Amino acid sequence: MDVLIHLFVGLHIIGIAALLGGFLTQMKAMGEGTARFSPAMLHGALTMLITGVALVGLNQADDNAVNNLKIGIKMALLIVILGLVYVKRDEERVDKALFGAVGALTVANIFIAVLWT
Ligand code: HEM
C-alpha cells in the first residue's frame, strides 16, 4: 500500500508541475495582460483533484490519520482554481488579477501541504 500511496504523491506532484508551470511560464505575459489559461493548467488542476481524493482514500484504507481540516482547505482552494481555469479556458486574454489569483492560490496550497504537518 505504501508504494501505491507514494505513486499517487508522485502523480500529485506532476499535477502541481503542470498547474504551477503553466502559471510561471506566463508571468511576463500576465504583466502585459496577455496571459491565458493553458490546457496544461486545466489538466494539472484536474490531476490534483483526482490524485488528492485518491490519496485521502488510500491513506484511510491504510489506517493513516488524515487531517480533514487541512485537506478541506486544500480542496476548497483547488475548487476555486479549477472553477476559474475551467470557465476562462477559452479566453485568449485573462485579466491580470484573475491569472495572478490562480498562481497565488496554487502557491498557498503548496505551503499549506508542506508546512501544516
Ligand atoms: C493546488 C492544489 C494542491 C496542491 C498544490 C497540493 C500539494 C501537495 C503536496 C506538495 C503534497 C506533498 C507533501 C505532503 O505529503 O504533505 C500533497 C500531499 C497530499 N495532498 Fe495535496 N495538493 C493540492 C490539492 C489536494 C486536494 C484537493 C486534496 C484532496 C482532496 C489533496 C490531498 C492530499 C493528500 C491526502 C496528500 C498526502 C499527504 C498528506 O496527508 O498531507 N491535495 N499535496
Q: Would you kindly state where each structural domain of the chain is located, as residue ranges?
A: 2-115
> Ligand 1 center to residue 97 CA distance, Å?
25
User: What would the pLDDT profile of 41-76 be if each residue is shown by its tens digit?
Assistant: 999 999 999 999 999 999 999 999 999 999 999 999
| Section 6-30 average pLDDT | 98
Q: What is the 3-state secondary structure (H, E, C) of the chain?
A: CHHHHHHHHHHHHHHHHHHHHHHHCCHHHHHHCCCCCCHHHHHHHHHHHHHHHHHHHHHHHCCCCCCHHHHHHHHHHHHHHHHHHHHCCCCCCCCHHHHHHHHHHHHHHHHHHHHCC
pTM: 0.94
User: What would the pLDDT profile of 72-106 be if each residue is shown by its tens digit?
Assistant: 999 999 999 999 999 999 999 999 999 999 999 99
- Residue in 71, 112, 117 to alter for ligand 1 test, most ligand atoms within 8 A of Cβ: 71
